[in-house]
């Protein structure tokens, strides 16, 4: 019987590439997204169910999980991919944006997981793949909200791995680097108030560093391969890195003390 994967945030980027990869390898795929019309190409496949799921709307989570079980009878893997990135001076962010960041990346991820875990526990098996980021272990300027949420994903995933092992479920964390996805578009929230002059030098340096001609973005298909490997790896390995930039940055983070690493980040961005 084909295995079934549920993927959140599957309308674009890494989520869509992951859904396409699992589908091509014979899995049943439940590709969830806020606007199911965005998944028309995926829905053309017999082994794909495209259904609405907004991680900040609990009713859509329950409905999507019920639809997955009704269509395919089982869930073997949950990929928590839906995400949103808020960058800018904390002082410039309205509290509703602060709340949205954690409601999407942390509370939403936990809500979807809670909805699927009872099925895993009843079966005594399952895999949870949480999509973090290289920004779940390192932080850049102006990213207190985004990095705070991704550091939370890392911590909750590691803690969750202990209790999930008691019911036969493995937890995996995937940490992608920069990829050519829609994250910098509709999934990105940049807030900056030019009237807060003290922050402008830092903000402009960061934007220049991120949009310079030397920035290389990987193919989302590469990240999808890493996610697939994590989902099908029967070992107790917890973390998987996707992208050469992520591998290098995380290696530097482990090798250097805080002062040296942060100084290197400042130099790379062009700030003092």
Residue from 84, 87, 146, 199 carrying the catalytic annotation: 146
Least confident of 31-40, 203-212, 224-233: 203-212
Higher pLDDT, residue 188 or 82: 82
Residue 182 has pLDDT above 80, yes or no: no
Least confident of 6-20, 148-162, 173-187: 173-187
Spatial strand order of the sheet with 239-242 comes to 48-52, 28-33, 4-7, 77-80, 126-131, 169-176, 239-242
Q: What would the mean pLDDT of 164-177 be, rounded to a whole number? A: 97
Q: pTM of the predicted model, to two decimals?
A: 0.93
Least confident of 4-8, 88-92, 128-132, 162-166: 88-92
Q: What would the mean pLDDT of 231-246 be, rounded to a whole number? A: 96
Q: What angle do CA 207, 210, 213 make, to 5 degrees?
A: 115
The predicted pLDDT at position 213 comes to 58
To the query of whether residue 146 is one of the catalytic residues in this protein, the response is yes
Q: Are 226 and 174 in contact (CB under 8 A)?
A: yes
Residue 134 has pLDDT above 50, yes or no: yes
Q: What would the mean pLDDT of 76-86 be, rounded to a whole number? A: 96
To the query of whether residue 150 is one of the catalytic residues in this protein, the response is yes
Residue 188 has pLDDT above 80, yes or no: no
How large a percentage of the chain has pLDDT more than 90?
A: 82
Residue 238 has pLDDT above 80, yes or no: yes
Residue from 11, 132, 149, 157 carrying the catalytic annotation: 132
Mean pLDDT over the full length of the chain: 93
The predicted pLDDT at position 210 comes to 74
The structural domains of the chain, ordered by start, are 4-245 (3.40.50.720)
Residue 143 has pLDDT above 70, yes or no: yes
The predicted pLDDT at position 207 comes to 80
Q: Nearest Cα to 51, choosing from 27, 29, 83?
A: 29
Higher pLDDT, residue 208 or 261: 261
The predicted pLDDT at position 184 comes to 47
Residue from 11, 133, 150, 240 carrying the catalytic annotation: 150
The predicted pLDDT at position 206 comes to 83
Q: Phi/psi class of residue 13: alpha, beta or left (left: φ > 0; alpha: ψ in -120 to 50)?
A: left
CA 213 vs CA 177, 207, 224, 264: distances in Å: 17, 12, 25, 20
The predicted pLDDT at position 214 comes to 55
Q: What angle do CA 239, 231, 13 make, to 5 degrees?
A: 85
The predicted pLDDT at position 190 comes to 82
């Amino acid at each position: 019987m084909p295995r079934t994967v549920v993927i959140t945030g599957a309308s674009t980027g890494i989520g869509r590439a992951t859904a396409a990869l699992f589908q091509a390898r014979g899995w049943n795929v439940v590709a969830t997204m806020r606007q199911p019309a965005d998944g028309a190409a995926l829905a053309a496949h017999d082994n794909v169910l495209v259904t609405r799921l907004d991680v900040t709307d609990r009713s859509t989570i329950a409905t999507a999980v019920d639809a997955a079980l009704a269509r395919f009878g089982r869930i073997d893997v949950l990929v928590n991919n839906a995400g949103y990135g808020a960058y800018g001076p904390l002082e410039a962010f309205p509290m509703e944006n602060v709340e949205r960041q954690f409601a999407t990346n942390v509370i939403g991820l936990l809500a979807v997981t809670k909805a699927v875990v009872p099925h895993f526990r009843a079966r005594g098996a399952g895999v949870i793949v949480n999509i973090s980021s290289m920004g779940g272990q390192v932080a850049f300027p102006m990213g207190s909200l985004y990095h705070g949420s991704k550091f939370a994903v890392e911590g909750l995933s590691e803690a969750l791995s202990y209790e999930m092992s008691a019911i036969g479920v493995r937890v995996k964390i995937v940490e992608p680097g920069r990829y050519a996805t829609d994250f910098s578009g509709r999934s990105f929230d940049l807030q900056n108030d030019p009237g807060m002059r003290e922050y402008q030098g830092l903000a402009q340096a960061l934007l220049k560093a991120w949009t310079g001609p030397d920035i290389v973005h990987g193919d989302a298909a590469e990240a999808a391969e890493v996610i697939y490997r994590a989902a099908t790896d029967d070992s107790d390995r917890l973390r998987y890195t996707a992208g050469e930039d992520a591998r290098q940055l995380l290696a530097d983070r482990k090798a250097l003390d805080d002062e040296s690493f942060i100084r290197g980040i400042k130099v790379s961005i062009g700030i003092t």
